[in-house]
């Protein structure tokens, strides 16, 4: 099982999530020469067959330390809320992070 990291954000929030690629024994997974795709889906979610709600490309911070970030903008999350499952997958097909993403309703101006 991949490293589990859970996140709690507000809909429409601009933020950067930092994640760490680890194996089931919590050993660092090197990201050297790889890219990372972060996918979010609604439970129950089968990432191998279901369409993700959100997909973003991660930015490698330290390949040798297995750290990477995913930047979210207003447009990414302003129209979603609730509980989701997420996972980060390397270009080699290895799932290096999984967990839950909770999106709380944001404050909206009147329309």
Q: In this predicted model, what pLDDT tens digit does every residue of 4-62 receive, in sequence order?
A: 999 999 999 999 999 999 988 889 999 999 999 999 998 877 766 678 899 999 999 99
C-alpha span between 91 and 80 (Å, rounded): 27
Q: How confident is the model at residue 87 (pLDDT cuts 50, 70, 90)?
A: very high
C-alpha span between 50 and 2 (Å, rounded): 19
List phi, psi (to 5°) of 45: -125, 125
């Amino acid at each position: 099982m991949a490293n589990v990291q859970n996140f709690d954000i507000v809909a429409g929030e601009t933020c950067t999530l930092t994640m760490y690629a680890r194996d089931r024994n919590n050993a660092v997974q090197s990201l050297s020469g790889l890219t990372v795709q972060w996918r979010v889906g609604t439970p129950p979610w089968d990432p191998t067959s279901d369409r993700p709600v959100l997909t973003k490309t991660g930015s490698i911070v330290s390949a040798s330390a297995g750290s990477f970030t995913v930047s979210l903008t207003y447009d990414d999350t302003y129209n979603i809320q609730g509980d989701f499952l997420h996972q980060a997958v390397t270009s080699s097909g290895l799932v290096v992070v999984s967990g839950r993403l909770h999106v709380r309703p944001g404050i909206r101006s009147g329309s």
